[in-house]
Amino acid sequence: METSWLAPSILSADFSRLGDEIRNVLEAGGDIIHFDVMDNHYVPNLTFGPMVLKSIRNYGITSIIDVHLMVSPVDDLIVQFSDAGADFITIHPESTNHLHRSLNLIKSCGCKVGLGINPATSLNILEYVMDQLDIILLMSVNPGFSGQNFIPSTFKKLLQVRKLIDNSHKNVLLEVDGGINLDNLKEIASFGVNIFVVGSAIFKAKNYKKIINDMRHKLN
């Protein structure tokens, strides 16, 4: 797949003016908006729920919204975030007792189906659910907080997942989330990554347009 999307993660945005932050980062060249949803149970942090997504849609944001559910249990929130306006929904295998059922629920809600793999999670599970997936999200940090450093062992996983996708002959997007910045973006892209989730490297920059243009240059 030739798709190459920058997905600013609002976890690093200024929540006192979230609507403006999202509009500004999209106008600066961001492709899709990434929602990191955490419940202080599956991961040690608490972020936001479907009401925030609904308010962003009501504000007038029409771009693709990529919802990453780091919550357990997960099924009720799949439905709630779909109803609120999600386009992509990614869950983790550890967050549900019946992964096939939860993945099918995402599909039945009309959203693209994603599976997130944590740094210490085996890739073996992909063998059993590959036919259900639209997106594989590799976490390159341990989920929970923004601003962490990229875990180098992710490169080995990227190589393995890229081969799995290519050998499957399916249109599955490869997404990476965590610690992505100008210094490592080009190397990450070399593994055929399609979606780059970037939080603090974008939202902590003084000029969104400049940082996104610099990142786009690395991808070309």
Residues annotated catalytic, as ranges: 36, 177
List b or e across 98-130, with b for residues whose CB sees 16 or more CB atoms inside 10 angstroms: ebeebbebbeebebbbbbbbbeeeeeeebeeeb
Q: Tell whether residue 49 is among the known ligand binding residues.
A: no
179 annotated as ligand-binding:
yes
Give the integer Cα–Cα distance in Å for 78 and 152: 31
- Backbone φ and ψ for 93, nearest 5 degrees, come out as -60, -30
What gap in Å lies between CA 62 and CA 97, rounded to an integer?
Answer: 33
Alpha-carbon gap, residue 180 to 186, rounded angstroms: 10
The answer to whether 145 is a known ligand-binding residue is: yes
The verdict on whether residue 178 carries a ligand-binding annotation is yes
200 is in an annotated binding site: yes
Chain position carrying tokens 């490169």? 155
Distance, in Å, from the CA atom of 214 to the CA atom of 208, rounded to the nearest integer, reads 10
- Does residue 144 have a known ligand-binding role? yes
* 9 labelled ligand-binding: yes
- Cα angle 1-133-74, degrees, rounded to a multiple of 5: 135
Q: Closest by alpha carbon to 50, among 30, 80, 75?
A: 80
**Residues annotated in a binding site for a divalent metal cation:** 34, 36, 68, 177
**Residues annotated in a binding site for substrate:** 9, 68, 144-147, 177-179, 199-200
